[in-house]
Amino acid sequence: MIAPPSAGAPPRVLNLFGYSGGSTLACAAGGASVVHVDGARAAIAQARRNAQLSRLDQAEVRWLCDDTMSYLRRAVRRGEVFDGVVADPPAFGRGGQGKKRGEWRIERDLPEMCSLLAQLLSPSPALLLLSCHDARWPAPRLASHLAPCLPPPQPGEGGAAPGAARLATGSMTLEAHAPGGKDLAMGCFVRWSPP
């Protein structure tokens, strides 16, 4: 469970490229208020259906079919604040049909995305998770882009780099359980959390 920022308010979590909603539902089940953003209407519909099947259709989730970068720029202008961010960007993507949507290219857009996230995070965030499924983006490369988002070290942490002691990186693997099966590499992740 994500710890609330105060006794009376649930933590606010932003889930970018939310797809079918697994991270959104995990955060909502833990008591968070979630803003779920995805550019494809079909993904939003599936995420809502998954919330219903998980008996979380009454959870505090705001479902937005929107271009991620457009949403982030507006959120910064509005002065929104989030206690946690989950982002799972593709290497390349376009929003759904209908309204004109932006085109996402990780090479071009990830640095700006991280810069915008740094402006949206609360001073004492609970979670920052970035994952990627492109082999050209190993964990160290993702971590280098995530660095601008990390909060500064707290008193008593010495001269460590911002958030260094709380940064976990790793590979995501779909494990084969059948005899003779092979594990399937699914990408990597970078996760920051408070001590």
Query: Which CATH number is 52's domain given?
Result: 3.40.50.150
Dihedral sign for Cα 34, 88, 117, 41, please.
negative
**Is 110 a domain residue?**
yes
Please state, in angstroms and rounded to a whole number, the distance separating the CA atoms of residues 69 and 15. 13
State the distance between the two ends of the chain, measured CA to CA, in whole angstroms: 15
pLDDT of residue 6: 53
**Is 55 a domain residue?**
yes
The domain tally of the chain equals 1
pLDDT of residue 193: 84
Percentage of the chain lying above the pLDDT 90 cut: 54
Q: Which residues form the domain of 89?
A: 12-192
**Is 123 a domain residue?**
yes
pLDDT > 60? residue 4: no
**Is 6 a domain residue?**
no
**Is 184 a domain residue?**
yes
Mean pLDDT of the region 67-94: 93
pLDDT digits (tens, 9 = 90+) for 91-147: 887 755 444 557 888 999 999 999 999 999 998 899 999 999 988 888 999 988 888
The catalytic residues are 132
